[in-house]
Homo-oligomer: A and B are copies of this chain.
């Protein structure tokens, strides 16, 4: 049987083998929710980079730029990290280069995987169906917050493991942790997360609407996948 594992933070991904696996990068609030939204709304490709300098350099070559640090848009870039800013029809066909506090770092650290996807509640069933249909082991790679684990990414990982039971086996305590958190939270994720550090941080930034949207299941059926160093809709 195929195996599924959960890495709770990029700080621990070196302890998990990524070679030969499909890695699903998860940054629910909000990088991978934004990327899903952008590709579902017709953005042609997304390049994820670790640093602001790399982002600016690619911007000069004609990409739109998006940069977030500490939950806020960085001055001098075209976009921040709100999913709603990617629903503009004028962006259709454009290419974007993105750097965020956690999500893009996790993508960069997933290099070496057989395939890299980005997942969010917004495209939950697309992710689950793809993982079920393909032959490889899976690593759910939570972006966390500045190296530490967070609840919302772990909950999503648990939700995917739960949806795939019967198709995948698992044997790591991080998977049982994600599953148990999901079972505790699943009937009221917003209520559960209102206690979490990152949601409190984002509430302080006045973006509760973003959070509610990012917890909504199956708004889009897009599958964001890395091809030649760029995320595109499969």
Taking beta carbons and an 8 Å cutoff, which residues of A are in contact with B?
8-9, 11-12, 15, 145-151, 154, 171-174, 176-177, 180-181, 183-184, 195-198, 200
Residues of B within 8 A of A147 (CB): 12, 15
In the complex the two chains form, what is the Cα distance from A202 to B195 in whole Å? 35
Interface-central residue, A146, A147, A177, A198, by most chain B CB under 10 Å: A177
Q: A11-B11, A12-B12 are in contact. Are A177 and B197 (CB under 8 A)?
A: no
B148 touches A174 (CB 8 A): yes
A154-B173, A173-B196, A173-B197 given; 13 more Cβ-contact pairs under 8 Å: A11-B11, A11-B15, A15-B148, A149-B174, A149-B177, A150-B173, A151-B176, A151-B177, A171-B200, A176-B196, A177-B177, A177-B181, A181-B181
**A15's closest neighbor in chain B, by CB?**
B147
**A145's closest neighbor in chain B, by CB?**
B173
A15 touches B173 (CB 8 A): no
A148 touches B172 (CB 8 A): yes
In the complex the two chains form, what is the Cα distance from A203 to B176 in whole Å? 18
B180 touches A12 (CB 8 A): no
Residues of B within 8 A of A198 (CB): 173
